[in-house]
Amino acid sequence: MTASRDISTETAALRLADGRLYHSHSDNVAQLAQRVGERLALSRAELTALRHAALLHDIGKVAIPDEILYKPDTLDARERTIIEQHTLIGERILYRSPALAFVGPIVRSSHEAWDGTGYPDGLAAEAIPLESRIIAVCDAFDAMTNDRPYRSKASIEHARAELAREAGRQFDPTVVGVVLSLTEADEAAA
């Protein structure tokens, strides 16, 4: 079996193991992230890592209690602390899979913020892996434009405005620019 097939098999197995996750969300994030990565001229190996990390960025949520994961109200401080563990849990899950261990650090850093206020390590700017920065923006865009237990979806225009507002604070401004360009082109083509 080739390394690529091992990775694909492991990715599919991990996603199948948890029926609670939003698979369409992960698919959407992975598709947009792939396009962003291509636009930013990532290498083939970087694109592979990006795609698999995007598909599995929420895998650590398997360990989060449903009453927190699907809570329709604002999370309290204790619940927020629990949910913020999902990136660390995801990294540990991925390290147990030899074919996917290389995407663990990307998943771990997928909720870091450009200004250093993210989690779990408080990384900032270029210290955050580029793949993680791409996933963060694509994840936010897809989450905003789809219904969640705690809120209804926002319009694409609102999501784009929110990304633009957070460029340079929560999100890498270069990645935001690419996502804005791609989503504007998608809307124009529709």
Whole-number mean pLDDT of the chain? 88
Outline where DSSP puts E strands in 23-181: none
pLDDT at 141: 96
Ranges 10-14, 71-75, 174-178, most confident: 174-178
- Residue 72 pLDDT level (bands cut at 50, 70, 90): confident
Q: Phi, psi (5° rounding) for residue 86?
A: -60, -30
pLDDT at 6: 53
User: How far apart (Å, rounded) are the C-alpha atoms in residues 162 and 23?
Assistant: 24
Mean pLDDT of 162-182: 98
pLDDT at 154: 83
Mean pLDDT of 107-135: 98
Q: How many domains does the chain have?
A: 1
Q: What is the CATH number of the domain that holds 15?
A: 1.10.3210.10
* Cβ contact 175:165 at 8 Å: no
Which range marks the domain in which residue 97 is found?
3-189
Mean pLDDT of 156-161: 94
User: pLDDT, tens digit, for every residue of 80-105?
Assistant: 999 999 999 999 999 998 889 999 99
- Residue 149 pLDDT level (bands cut at 50, 70, 90): low
Cα–chain center distance at 86: 12
User: How far apart (Å, rounded) are the C-alpha atoms in residues 124 and 168?
Assistant: 10
Positive or negative, the CA dihedral 59, 65, 70, 72 is negative
pLDDT at 33: 98
**CA dist 32 to 15, 107, 124, Å?**
18, 16, 23
- Residue 1 pLDDT level (bands cut at 50, 70, 90): very low
Does 42 have pLDDT greater than 50?
yes
* pTM: predicted TM-score of the whole model, two decimal places: 0.88
Ranges 23-27, 58-62, 85-89, most confident: 85-89
User: How far apart (Å, rounded) are the C-alpha atoms in residues 23 and 58?
Assistant: 10
Cα separation of the two ends of the chain: 40
